[in-house]
Amino acid sequence: MRTKAYHAFEQKISYFDDDIDLIEIIKIGVSNGNLTDPKSEYVLKGVDPAKHSHIARRKNSDGSRTLLINHLRQTLYSSYVKDVYEEVTQYLKTILEQAAENGFDAGRLIGEHSCKFDASAILAAGNWKSVAGLITDSVFQTLEAEKSTLKLFEKMAAKLALSIDHSLIVATLPYLEVRHYLVHDDGVLPTQFQKNNPGILVDDKNRVQLKYQFVSKLRDSVKQLIKHYDERIVSSKLLKKEEMQP
């Protein structure tokens, strides 16, 4: 068995993986000349200057095509890192909400993250599911406000009384933390981060090198970690039966 939240997570990652495969196929096509028209003045086949005024500026040369495809691939890889991170947090948030809805230990779930609501907000919620959503939204926002991916994983495990293999968190953490530097520092990795994670390569400007190997390691480590969480959640019977599936 697995949770429906995990199934949704897997589906989203699968769509993102399609994007990664697609850009690799396009890159091969560009490299092999399949998208080149030697008789055209434009960089790629099918360019209509009336529609594609920006790319029409590019010359019909291998150098221009290499710049284009590499930039597109970097943009997609960067989005992949950010999107995977968002799906991880969405999964954790969903599980927290569903555990609360199922009557999991309220004191443990809230813990040190106390929250207050107006009576009108509670009444407006209308039902227990919505109230549980209000509470867990507040708790999760507090967790995210700590701006520590490590603490997010650890405190989620603690709140749900899950026995998690910490080595899986450690293996995944550096790849997810790159997302922060992509969002806030244009991908520039601090010196200490580089020393702690020599397997994550940077360019001459200390920007993370987003290559297929990097996104593959990110994907594999994240999927292994979230699967591990889900197995523990299922075995602990934290959720209602309707939130599960084969």
pLDDT digits (tens, 9 = 90+) for 120-141: 665 565 566 666 666 777 777 7
Cα–Cα distance, 187 to 178 (Å, whole number) = 7
CB 187 within 8 A of CB 181: yes
pLDDT reported for residue 111: 60
Dihedral sign for Cα 197, 198, 200, 202, please.
positive
pLDDT reported for residue 140: 75
The predicted model scores a pTM of: 0.88
Ranges under pLDDT 50 in the chain: none
pLDDT reported for residue 145: 80
CA diameter of the chain: 72
Name the nearest CA neighbour of 52 among 39, 40, 70, 38.
40
Dihedral sign for Cα 100, 104, 106, 111, please.
negative
Exposure string over 33-52, b if 16+ CB within 10 A, otherwise e: eebbeeeeebbbeebeeeee
Reduce the DSSP state of residue 32 to 3 states and report it: coil
pLDDT reported for residue 169: 97
pLDDT reported for residue 139: 76
pLDDT reported for residue 101: 86
Cα–Cα distance, 52 to 40 (Å, whole number) = 14
- Residue with token string 């994907």: 219
